[in-house]
Amino acid sequence: MTESHNARAVVTGAGSGIGRAFALELAKRGGEVVCADISLARAEETVRLVVENGGTAHPVVCDVASREQVEDLALFAELTFGAAPTLVINNAGVGIGGTPVGDIGFDNWNWALGINLWGVIHGCEIFTPGMRAAGKGGFINVASAAGFAAAPLMGPYNVGKAGVMSLSETMAAELSGTGIRVTVLCPTFVKTNVAIDGRITDTGAKLAGKLMASTGFSPERIAVDTLNKYDRGRLYVVPQIDAKLIWRLKRIAPALYTRTLGLLGRFAPQESTEKAGV
């Protein structure tokens, strides 16, 4: 199967990291890509890279937390392609962490879930009807191993990514047999700007940066692996060994897993949201 080849693709958060890697890889596979990002400058830089490599891409500004802007994105894509997209990658996301539930603040919850969860909901709800009418297409929803790892001090991030996983599973069941496929990506550390651009406490950002540098996969590796598994009809893409181990351990011994996380969480440094730039 070569569903990711010659695609009419929409990628959100395409201005950097995994989103940019998806856009470049899809263009290499003969696709035409709408590169959506909250930053027009970043989207244009991705398009420039695609064009330099002989591909075709189009920049557009989109805040995925806004339903109206995602509706405009869908209209832009259909007008640009002359048809509904055949692949939508709901990738846009932000990092948040370092503060326990009870001290996070509702502004932070709303901000994180607006992008990480509602952004994916908007993309799926708005683009599904066009694919259903065409009888073909697919979604790659970018979640995280955080969606099942549920590590302490990452409440809004964990909840958003768990929601993306559940939404993807639901859609996979609903769209079975329709010609529309769904894949959900659940990585651990990837070398992106998520820790820099998010609302993460200073200590948390430093730790995340070190882990990304030492253990993180490159966005390009993640994009290639995910698209190949999407082509093979995989629902879950869990690309790293540590994520696979967490997945299995939690299911084999859930109580032990949670107690261990709780113990580790007691030694984790905690800071107020003010230090996270909020």
Question: So which residues are the catalytic ones?
Answer: 157
Pairing of strands 96-97, 199-200: parallel
Q: Starting at the edge strand that comes first in sequence, how are the strands of the sheet with 137-142 ordered?
A: 56-61, 32-37, 8-12, 87-90, 137-142, 180-185, 236-237
Pairing of strands 32-37, 8-12: parallel
CB 160 within 8 A of CB 150: no
Q: At what angle do helices 17-28 and 40-52 cross, to 10 degrees?
A: 30
Mind giving me the DSSP string for 85-146? -SEEEE-----EESS-TTSS-HHHHHHHHHHHTHHHHHHHHHHHHHHHHHT-EEEEEE--TH
Please give the C-alpha separations between residue 65 and each of 9, 13, 62, 69, 130, in angstroms, as whole numbers.
20, 12, 9, 8, 21
Q: How many whole angstroms separate alpha carbon 19 and alpha carbon 17?
A: 5
Amino acid at 138: G
